[in-house]
Structure 1
Amino acid sequence: MVTFDSLLDYHGNIQVAIWVRGEQVMVRRVGVRMWSATTGLPEPKQGKLKYAPRRYVNFDGFKPGLSVNEAKALLARASITFTETSVADASETVVLLELSNNTELHFFLMEGRPSLAEIQAYSEHEAP
């Protein structure tokens, strides 16, 4: 089995991890990076998230730098259940919202508060 993990777009917004075994290819994870570190510290990406020239990603209100409470309100309006976890490890993530559909919203400490930094969607399948 070979694992491949790569940024797919020029702007570094979308990342895909796949497994390759023989002739079978499986997407394991799709991630959207909503932060940059131009000043050395994480900060919300400015402007629209692009995946190609003049092609943008729209997440119906889930945008870089969104607060935890704003994200929870959007999830409640969409009737999406989630579990909230405070993270205290070496990662950048300080709050994690785990959705019932194998999706995670990662919040980094940015601009003095936990802010939406990444969306990660995982496959339902385990590694082959």
Structure 2
Amino acid sequence: MAEFKEIMAMRLEGKSYDAIASALGCSNRDIARMIDVINAYGITAEAFAGLSPEFFNEHFPDGRRTRKAAYVQPDYKALADKPAKNKHLTRCMLWEKYYSLPAEPGMLKYQYAQFCNGLAPYIQTHGLTEVIDHEPGEELYVD
């Protein structure tokens, strides 16, 4: 997202499109939008100093959508204790167990990759057996 306050400051200093775009990494479209606002409101360098952050939020809203999805948090402690009792229990089996549990309406379950991203750090920080990640067929591990 472009920093519109910085674009306005540079434009009021008389910087060119190219200078602003290369310094801030913004598009010419963002600069043109800023010039339109400067011209529409007659903003000068003196008036710029008095502009509030709300002015920029109002005229240049963040168009990104926010995530509203709520996820059922796995009980990593209970899940991490299970492999100690069953050597042949895999992460996929743990995820299937988690995924099969009932959830409240509107709650989503983590997909496999995100589940594993949460399980691996838990296993590492609690001193449990490490999960060995490797590409299939690349290496052979023997106990």
TM-score, length-normalised on structure 2? 0.19
Richer in helix (by share)? 2
Richer in strand (by share)? 1
TM-score, length-normalised on structure 1? 0.21
